[in-house]
Every structure is written in C-alpha cells, then in structure tokens.
C-alpha cells in the first residue's frame, strides 16, 4: 500500500481538481489517501469514502483551525504521517491540493523508487494560472515537496523538517544524497499557482516572481495537452 498525504483547507477549487487528477491515476495498487483539512467550512467533504476501488479515504479535521498569517503545513503533514503509521505502507507521497499530476504519476514514481529511499523530479516548472506566467526552476539538488515520495524508514528524518518553511530543501539537505534518486521525466507533475482561495506559501503565487508570459496558454498546453483547459477559468491578471 502507498499513502498520499494532502494538507488542505479553504481551497474548494483546488481540492476538486486534485480529486479529479487522483481519480484517473493509472496506479493499480492499494492507496491510502489521507486528507488533512484544517479550515471551516470543510472542503474535503467532496471526496466520498467510496472514491475509488482499492483506495481508503481518511479525512482528518484538526481542531485548531488555520487562520490568515499561520503556516500549518508542517503540523498537517505531521498529522498525516502519524495517521499512516497504523497501516503497512510501502511509500509516502506528498500530494499538494493545487498542483497538476499526470495520470501516470504514481505509477512512474513507484517504478523509480525501487532500490532507493526517496525519489523526486527536479527542474520543477511553476505555472501561475491567474497571471498566465511560468518559470522552469533550476532545482537539481532537491525536488519540490509535491514531487516527492519516500519510504517509511525516512519518516524520522522527515519529522526534523516540519518547522522549516522550506521542508523539501531541508529534507534533501539532511539526506545529503544517501538513498536519493533525483530525475527528470517530462514533467510528471507541475506546480500550479494562483488559483483563488487560501494563498500558497511557496514561490510563484505572487506577481513578483520572475516568470515568462503565456497569455494564450500555448506553453501550458504543450506540457499537458487538453488538460490545460482545467485552468482556463482562473485567469485574471495583467502583465503591465
């Protein structure tokens, strides 16, 4: 069994899209999807318990709710990790609610995990759908959190990173290359930014980041084909 951990809250559009992307994953093994929803009203309720055959849906609602100015990512990941310990887990995935995942994402990641303790796709692409701008990052020593999977034996290392704003870079720094498989694979996942709702905490969500324009979404379409239409409604920015 693999586990997917998704922190969310006050992001109805994002969790709706995420559910659609997970619904069509080609991975045929057993999946435990832990969704930690820390806002009111609850938005994870759209995902039913019978979401997919072979998938267990576990929704957790922390009593201490998120409010503007708080960063609850580490706490929510901790809650998800702790809940997964009741299951026989082969790999842990961090599935962020606002990012894009190809249908073969879980399949391809699991194939690359064989013989390693942690895997991640590098040279991450961020695409802001509000401004229709993108950037290809040069991260080659670590993978972004939403593009990472690791084995349960690395949980003690992962726990050391909860308090860091950039959990992903800290995680890979602590591992120092041991048991790590960093790769490129035609962008199995893409960091989507700019959808309305609770703001993200990473780079790319705001206009200030140096990104290239893609007003007609031609670049995004070249990456994900017809799936680019998922993000057409969210344009509202200006380049000037």
pLDDT of residue 45: 87
CB 204 within 8 A of CB 132: no
Task: Supply the pLDDT for residue 197.
Answer: 77
Which residue positions in the chain have pLDDT lower than 50?
A: 239-240
CA–CA dist 40, 172 (Å, integer): 33
Superfamily holding 2-122+139-189: Spore Coat Polysaccharide Biosynthesis Protein SpsA; Chain A (3.90.550.10)
Domain positions in the chain are 2-122+139-189
121 touches 184 (CB < 8 A): yes
DSSP state for residue 97 in the 8-state scheme: T
pLDDT in tens, 226-237: 999 999 999 997
pLDDT value for 240: 34
Report whether 110 contacts 2 (CB < 8 A): yes
Structure pTM? Answer: 0.93
Beta-bridge mates of residue 213: 133
Distance of CA 88 to the CA centre of its chain: 22
Q: Return the pLDDT at 239.
A: 47
Span 112-143, pLDDT tens digits? 999 999 999 999 999 999 999 999 999 999 99
CB neighbours of 159 closer than 8 A, spacing ≥ 6? 78, 81
């Amino acid at each position: 069994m693999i586990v997917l951990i998704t922190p969310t809250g006050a992001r109805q559009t994002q969790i709706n899209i995420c559910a659609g992307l997970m619904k069509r994953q080609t991975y045929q093994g057993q999946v435990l999807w832990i969704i930690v929803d820390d806002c009111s009203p609850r938005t994870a309720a759209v995902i039913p318990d019978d979401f997919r055959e072979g998938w267990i849906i576990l929704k957790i609602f922390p009593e201490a709710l998120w409010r503007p100015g708080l960063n609850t990512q580490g706490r929510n990941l901790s809650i998800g990790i702790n809940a997964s310990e009741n299951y026989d887990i082969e790999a842990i995935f961090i599935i962020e609610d606002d990012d894009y995942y190809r249908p073969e994402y879980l399949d391809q990641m699991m194939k690359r995990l064989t013989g390693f303790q942690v895997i991640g796709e590098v040279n991450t692409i961020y695409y802001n759908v509000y401004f229709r701008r993108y950037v290809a990052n040069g991260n080659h020593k670590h993978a972004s959190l939403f593009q990472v999977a690791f084995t349960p034996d690395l949980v003690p290392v992962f726990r050391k990173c909860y308090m860091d704003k950039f959990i992903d870079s800290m995680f890979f720094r602590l591992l120092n290359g041991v048991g790590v498989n960093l790769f490129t694979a035609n962008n199995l996942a893409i960091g989507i930014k700019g959808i309305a709702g609770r703001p993200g905490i990473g780079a790319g969500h705001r206009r200030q980041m140096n990104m290239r324009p893609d007003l007609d979404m031609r670049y995004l379409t070249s990456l994900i084909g017809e799936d680019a239409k998922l993000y057409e409604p969210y344009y509202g920015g200006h380049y000037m």
